[in-house]
Amino acid sequence: MVYVFLVAALIQNGDKLFGKNNNVASVMAFLMLFVFSATVVGGLVLAKPVMLYLNGQKKEAVKMLLSTVGWLLILMAAVFILMILL
């Protein structure tokens, strides 16, 4: 959640930090940030369950993955509720 907050803050304040840019470099920067973020979050969510699965701990791997996804769902719902209330 902290990582997502930091990326969202960067995107929200992009004009203030980098000025208004409507060129190919700004689009490339956004896409690179998107790819980097997907890689980081994918690694955070999937690395440990995959390692457990490959070590033969299949039940633990599935349990860890499902609980991680469940917590992400809870956090996402909390953010949406906060948005509705504010």
Sorted by where each begins, the domain ranges of the chain are 2-85
Q: Is the torsion defined by CA of 9, 13, 18, 24 positive or negative?
A: positive
pLDDT value for 39 = 93
Do residues 65 and 46 lie in contact, with contact meaning Cβ atoms separated by under 8 Å? yes
Structure tokens at 61: 């791997």
User: Are 17 and 30 in contact, with CB atoms under 8 Å apart?
Assistant: no
- pLDDT per residue as tens digits for the range 31-66: 999 999 899 889 989 999 999 999 999 999 999 999
Helix (H) or strand (E) segment spanning residue 74: helix 58-85
Q: What is the pLDDT of residue 23?
A: 83
Q: How far apart are CA 45 and CA 51, in angstroms?
A: 12
